[in-house]
Copies of this chain bind each other. A is one copy, B any other.
Amino acid sequence: MHANVKQNVVPLITPGLKVACSQCNLRELCLPFGLLDEDMARLDNLIGGGRKLKRGQHLYRAGEAFESIFAVKAGFFKTDVLTEDGRDQVTGFQMAGEILGMDGISTEVHTCNAVALEDSEVCLIPFTELEMLSSEIHSLQHHLHKVMSREIVRDHGVMMLLGTMRAEERLAAFLLNLSQRFNARGYSPAEFHLRMTREEIGSYLGLKLETVSRAFSRFQDEGLISVQQKHIRILDIPRLKTLLTPADGRLG
């Protein structure tokens, strides 16, 4: 096995790609939130460098040894779980400032795949070292716990979506969630490009791609959004939100 072949399979840390939380405009969204300057400098030292990924590349795969968590610096990811029996479920889409890989802490092995949906960049945060540092910096420890807890709460929201919503409600919730997250990052909440296919949206929402496509079309017919392939413009956010409040009859 040639060394450069192996490099293609397992992309290494980009040499010289220095990252520093203290210089990062995502720091209020990301792990260093609320740290004092001196503590942030210690976190800077810990972060193992950045890593760039091309669209389609895996950040990690289920089964690989867990060593680090990752902060998305730029770009867009999906995570998905595959089971032996062939099921495939997209468990989330991650954008700048969000943390990837916490599923691997439990067993020291990644339990899902993380794939870049566009050219992306992440910061590598070695977990053992993060634990050591968080023993010393209480606010870092607490924020790590908050980030993990937030992931649990987010997952509960997805369960709610999958367990109680019908197709159009799911898609409306999905679009509003993306809108709100783009907005929080300084992008337009009303106009954006989807980085994922209809099939990936469908997997995330527990629907078939045709159902997703039909729901998009119906939203467009009703003047709620305009869709052109992956380009979405939300025309009526308030009315989209009312879709999430089902008629009295169906619940309660």
Contacts and interface: CB of A to CB of B under 8 A. Distances in A.
A107 B158 CA distance: 18
A91 B156 contact: yes
A23 interface: no
B85 A244 contact: yes
B160 A89 contact: yes
A150 interface: yes
Contact of A160 (B83, B106, B156): B83
Contact of A159 (B86, B89, B107, B153): B89
A210 interface: no
Interface in A72-99: 81, 83, 85-89, 91
Interface of A: 81, 83, 85-89, 91, 102-107, 111-112, 131-132, 134-136, 138, 141-142, 145-146, 148-153, 155-160, 162-165, 203-206, 244-246, 251-252
